[in-house]
Amino acid sequence: MPRNQQILLDKRPQGAATADDFRLVTVETPPLQDGQVLVRHHYLSLDPYMRGRMNEGKSYAASQPLGEVMIGGTAGEVLESRHPKYAVGDRVVGMGGWQEYGVVDADVPGALRKVDVAQVPLSYYLGAVGMPGVTAWYGLTQIIDPKPGQTLTVSAATGAVGSSFVALAKARGCRVVGIAGGPEKCRYATGELGFDACIDHRAHGDLKAMSRALKDACPNGIDGHFENVGGYVLDAVLLRANAFARVALCGMIAGYDGAPLPLLNPALILVNRMRVEGFIVSEHMQLWPQALAELAALVAAGKLRPRESIAQGLASAPEAFLGLLRGRNLGKQLVKLI
């Protein structure tokens, strides 16, 4: 069995996360038992939710234990199998964590899934045709539920979720306005992803400026919003929301490093009779096949072609993750492990 490099959570962040919070180790891979498979991870997914797991406080999921392999989605290849449903060479995705190899109990529901790489690249199963894509699909279809011609907005627009959100929303005949950080990302949003407009939050860095920019970009108001960030961006969206607008609340990354973020004018939710709903996509696994089928079809048709930011080697994962939290990535952030 191969020797396995792993990255562990070594200590909990005090404020912003740093590379010193992680530790790289090398361990022996245990021999397979009946019902297990050995997976060589080709790609590791880095996602904002991981920052929340590093904290000790109460959240929607258990904290990442200290001294254990960091949680994370992986895509790779079966190297050895003692399970009848998996053969050597199968391409698979799972939650293998920040490590080069994974020994998986394949009978555990959701532990491993075979994927077809004939039309969809393996790495896309961690982004556009994976958890981020399903997240976009669920928030759009199950909460926002837009009608053709309506105006939708999404923060973190050029990330893995935002890239899928715009393709799904445009397929439903919506006008879509993104919010992203920097002119390069905004050019990418409108020039390649298909956004009708994109607002640079770095150039509109407070509530007044963001509200004014949203008014210009959304002259007919906002009918639906997908929130990944929180803070003054959400406050500005509420100021421009139409009656009966819907907000799918997926992430609040602006507050991951410190105290909870206040909402300045929650009365707007009542005044506009809005629906604001948070969701965790892993709680809706029964809908994943439907979502994944639509996302794969968009990829195959060339209507969903997101970029990927790829770091090389497991040791690069901590710095790549910190860059993701600071908005340095363009598109889905991955670590290539082979």
Q: What is the pLDDT of residue 239?
A: 97
> Is residue 67 classed as helix, strand or coil in its secondary structure?
coil
pLDDT in tens, 284-331: 999 999 999 999 999 999 999 889 999 999 999 999 999 999 989 988
178 neighbors 162 (Cβ within 8 angstroms): yes
List, in sequence order, the alpha helices (H) in 242-337.
267-271, 288-300, 317-325
Strands of 91-174, DSSP E:
91-94, 101-105, 112-114, 151-155
pLDDT in tens, 211-241: 999 999 999 999 999 999 889 999 999 999 9
> Is residue 221 classed as helix, strand or coil in its secondary structure?
coil
CATH for 3-127+307-336?
Answer: 3.90.180.10
Q: What is the pLDDT of residue 256?
A: 66
* Cα angle 249-212-217, degrees, rounded to a multiple of 5: 70
Cα 319 from Cα 338, distance rounded (Å): 18
Question: Is residue 58 pLDDT above 80, yes or no?
Answer: no
Amino acid occupying residue 338? I
**Parts of the chain belonging to CATH 3.40.50.720:** 131-282
**Parts of the chain belonging to CATH 3.90.180.10:** 3-127+307-336
Q: What is the pLDDT of residue 258?
A: 64
Q: What is the pLDDT of residue 82?
A: 97
Amino acid occupying residue 125? Y
What share of the chain in percent tops pLDDT 90? 87
pTM: 0.91
Cα 250 from Cα 333, distance rounded (Å): 18
Q: Thinking of the domain 131-282, which architecture would CATH place it in?
A: 3-Layer(aba) Sandwich (3.40)
Q: What is the pLDDT of residue 259?
A: 67
